[in-house]
Chains A and B, each alone.
Chain A
Amino acid sequence: MDLTATTTIRKPAPEVYAFWRDLENLPTFMAHLDQVRTTGATTSHWSASAPFGKDLEWDAEIVDETPTEKIQWRSTGEAAVPNSGTVRFVPAPDGVSTEVHVALVYDLPGGAVGKAVAKYFGEEPHQLLDDDLRRLKQVLETGEVVRSDGAPWGKRAREEFPQRPAQPLSDAEVEKGAEA
């Protein structure tokens, strides 16, 4: 499965690049990731639960990078869902913003895991990546992922559609949401 998405962020390329290059930042805006831990100069350990029907962990390494311009990575070892990705940072014509172009490739295995991933991404899988980039933009331009009463949990907004009503959360909901 090949996914591409792009957005423009009103920050200079070095800043956008630096945020992404600190891979531990990825889960703040990528819906399917729970955690990324840096394990070396170019290596990292990733974990995800949502798309795969169960907790999955894998190692990854950066295979190519050009500071402020490009990062390319791939999973290593026995990943249950082998995957790779490239992100490019291109100065926008306005002279202040940066275009972020992302391409991800998932090698879908057969069996339950493959099915779970396919179901998670649904009929228009690029939309999830679009949403990830919208949140990246929110974080870099405003400081955090924007929440509303109908979509109070940030990363979970789309999967909750139709959402809870646009009315303030009760204490019980806040407790439950914080756990989920």
Chain B
Amino acid sequence: MRANTWAGRNKVEVRDVPDPRILNSRDAIVRITSTAICGSDLHLVDGYVPTMQDGDVLGHEFMGEVIEVGPGVARDRLSVGDRVVVPFPIACGACAACAAELYSCCENTNPNAGIAEKMFGHPVAGIFGYSHLTGGYAGGQAQYARVPFADVNPLRIESDLTDEQVLFLSDILPTGYMGAEMCDIQPTDVVAVWGAGPVGQFAMDSARVLGAARVIAIDKEPYRLRMAEQAGHTPVNFEEVDVRSALLELTGGRGPDKCIDAVGMEATHGSAHIAAYDRLKQAVRSETDRPHALRQAITSCRSGGVVSVIGVYGGLLDKFPAGAWMNRSLTLRTGQCHVQRYMKPLLARIERGEIDPTRIITHTLPLDEADRGFEIFKNKEEDCEKVVLKP
């Protein structure tokens, strides 16, 4: 089959690879009809996540049709012909983490848990197409994928919604929603979201759905801010204005009640010398993450507020504003999304028309043009917000 693979830092390559096969009895094989490129893929391709290997199949946002199921999958759970969206964290459904609905912390699905434990203190779940640290699972930017624990993970789509309407249930819609949910939003809340990428946009929409009084979008890409503004959110361009002053102005001096970091470890900084400091530390590996958005979210948040982090961090960071966090009673919440927890309720919201996930799609390309998709998504060319690939 054709599959988009990691081919070294800053390089992806669509190659011919063997078709996937059943390796465990509860696996299924899915013929992929739609898949997408995510900001998390950029961290891998930019070389910020260790344990990537030449030839790793990328992609963790995909859906399609079940073409084979292993002997351990009960037919009432999943059958050949079912149309499914596959969540990016692989969960076993049986461990204590899964029982607590902490699916991205599943204790059983990472065969390389020992390596992850060294890095993170405790292991994390397996994730499709997302380094060997999270298991070494082939991803879904491909014609077919093997889906483990197929009786637990995939969401069956029984209505006639389009792929574009449901594809993002695999990751970014639940992720944005979890970012907002962790904020415990009250009707009086002003919620500020750093990053107007796909994840940020869905965090903003979710904050509004959950009843926020006002949602602020912070980014530097005018077209992404315009997209947020068209959806009813208030844009702040951090290259044009001082974010702190803008946020104080927008909140009568209080600061946002809730702050969401939807940027992660490759944030850029308006101030050149701070950006250079972190870029250098990252280059010499004395710091693995560039936490500008996170620092700013913490210092901007009103006292007693919540800072919710859905942007991905991989290792260590520097100059964490612990004083602001501690002395002003901030709550810091975070996590790789527990996608399985949110798929059904969010599908219902899509069916009711409360959220329109298609609004962020700017490009649809054949799988064979995945490298161009990465190029324009990464470099913010052609006003690219989200790329959907068709195998």
User: How near does chain B come to A140, taking the closest CB pair, in angstroms?
Assistant: 9
Surface stretch bound by A, among B54-62, B75-83, B216-224: B54-62
Asked whether, in the complex, the Cβ of A168 is within 8 Å of the Cβ of B114, the reply is no
Chain A: how many interface residues by the 8 Å CB criterion? Answer: 36
Determine if B19 is an interface residue (Cβ-Cβ < 8 Å): yes
Asked whether, in the complex, the Cβ of A151 is within 8 Å of the Cβ of B99, the reply is no
Taking a contact as CB atoms closer than 8 A, the residue among B53, B57, B108 that contacts A162 in the complex is: B53
User: How near does chain B come to A96, taking the closest CB pair, in angstroms?
Assistant: 9
Asked whether, in the complex, the Cβ of B53 is within 8 Å of the Cβ of A166, the reply is yes
Q: What residues of B have a CB within 8 angstroms of the CB of A165 in the complex?
A: 5, 53-57
If over half of A's interface residues share one DSSP class (helix, strand or loop), that class is named, otherwise mixed; here it is loop
User: How near does chain A come to B96, taking the closest CB pair, in angstroms?
Assistant: 5
Determine if B357 is an interface residue (Cβ-Cβ < 8 Å): no
User: How near does chain B come to A61, taking the closest CB pair, in angstroms?
Assistant: 31
Q: What residues of A have a CB within 8 angstroms of the CB of B136 in the complex?
A: 148-151, 163, 166
Q: Please, which residue of chain A has its CB at the minimum distance from the CB of B53?
A: A165
Proximity string of chain A (146-169) to chain B, C-beta cutoff 8 Å, 1 when within and 0 when not? 111111101001100111111111
Surface stretch bound by B, among A12-20, A45-53, A126-134: A126-134
Q: What residues of B have a CB within 8 angstroms of the CB of A10 in the complex?
A: 94-96, 99
Q: What residues of A have a CB within 8 angstroms of the CB of B138 in the complex?
A: 148-149, 166-168
Docked CA distance A147–B117 (Å): 18
Asked whether, in the complex, the Cβ of B135 is within 8 Å of the Cβ of A150, the reply is yes
Q: What residues of A have a CB within 8 angstroms of the CB of B24 in the complex?
A: 144, 146-147
User: How near does chain B come to A90, taking the closest CB pair, in angstroms?
Assistant: 15
User: How near does chain A come to B17, taking the closest CB pair, in angstroms?
Assistant: 5
Give residues of chain A (103-160) contacting chain B, Cβ–Cβ below 8 Å: 127, 130-131, 134, 137-138, 141-144, 146-152, 154, 157-158
Taking a contact as CB atoms closer than 8 A, the residue among B18, B72, B129 that contacts A143 in the complex is: B72
Proximity string of chain A (59-99) to chain B, C-beta cutoff 8 Å, 1 when within and 0 when not? 00000000000000000000000000000000000100100
Determine if B88 is an interface residue (Cβ-Cβ < 8 Å): no
User: How near does chain A come to B121, taking the closest CB pair, in angstroms?
Assistant: 13
Q: What residues of B have a CB within 8 angstroms of the CB of A137 in the complex?
A: 95, 107-108
Determine if A1 is an interface residue (Cβ-Cβ < 8 Å): no
Given the contacts A10-B96, A142-B92, A148 and B137 also touching, CB distance less than 8 Å: yes
Determine if A8 is an interface residue (Cβ-Cβ < 8 Å): yes
User: How near does chain A come to B20, taking the closest CB pair, in angstroms?
Assistant: 4
Asked whether, in the complex, the Cβ of A146 is within 8 Å of the Cβ of B132, the reply is no
Q: What residues of A have a CB within 8 angstroms of the CB of B55 in the complex?
A: 165-167
Give residues of chain B (120-174) contacting chain A, Cβ–Cβ below 8 Å: 126, 129, 132, 135-139, 146, 148-149
Given the contacts A10-B95, A146-B109, A166-B56, A127 and B114 also touching, CB distance less than 8 Å: yes
Q: What residues of A have a CB within 8 angstroms of the CB of B111 in the complex?
A: 146-148, 150-151, 154, 157
User: How near does chain B come to A131, taking the closest CB pair, in angstroms?
Assistant: 5
Q: Please, which residue of chain A has its CB at the minimum distance from the CB of B97?
A: A10
Asked whether, in the complex, the Cβ of B21 is within 8 Å of the Cβ of A168, the reply is yes
> A154, A157, A163, A165: which has the most chain B beta carbons within 10 Å?
A165
Taking a contact as CB atoms closer than 8 A, the residue among B19, B57, B108, B129 that contacts A142 in the complex is: B108
Asked whether, in the complex, the Cβ of B132 is within 8 Å of the Cβ of A94, the reply is no
Taking a contact as CB atoms closer than 8 A, the residue among B19, B23, B56, B132 that contacts A147 in the complex is: B23
Docked CA distance A94–B96 (Å): 10
Q: Please, which residue of chain B has its CB at the minimum distance from the CB of A147?
A: B23
Given the contacts A143-B72, A144-B25, A149-B136, A169 and B18 also touching, CB distance less than 8 Å: yes
Given the contacts A143-B72, A146-B148, A157-B112, A168 and B94 also touching, CB distance less than 8 Å: no
Docked CA distance A165–B129 (Å): 10
Give residues of chain B (238-272) contacting chain A, Cβ–Cβ below 8 Å: none
Q: What residues of A have a CB within 8 angstroms of the CB of B149 in the complex?
A: 142
Q: Please, which residue of chain B has its CB at the minimum distance from the CB of A130?
A: B114
| Complex A-B, nearest 6 residue pairs according to Cβ-Cβ distance, in ascending order | A150-B136, A165-B55, A151-B111, A168-B20, A166-B56, A147-B23
Can you name 10 A-B residue pairings with CB atoms under 8 Å?
A142-B26, A142-B149, A146-B148, A148-B23, A148-B135, A151-B132, A162-B53, A168-B19, A168-B57, A171-B18
- Contacts beyond the supplied A94-B96, A141-B107: 18 A-B pairs with Cβ under 8 Å: A130-B114, A137-B108, A143-B26, A143-B72, A144-B24, A146-B148, A148-B138, A150-B136, A151-B111, A154-B111, A165-B53, A165-B55, A165-B57, A166-B57, A166-B137, A168-B21, A168-B138, A169-B21
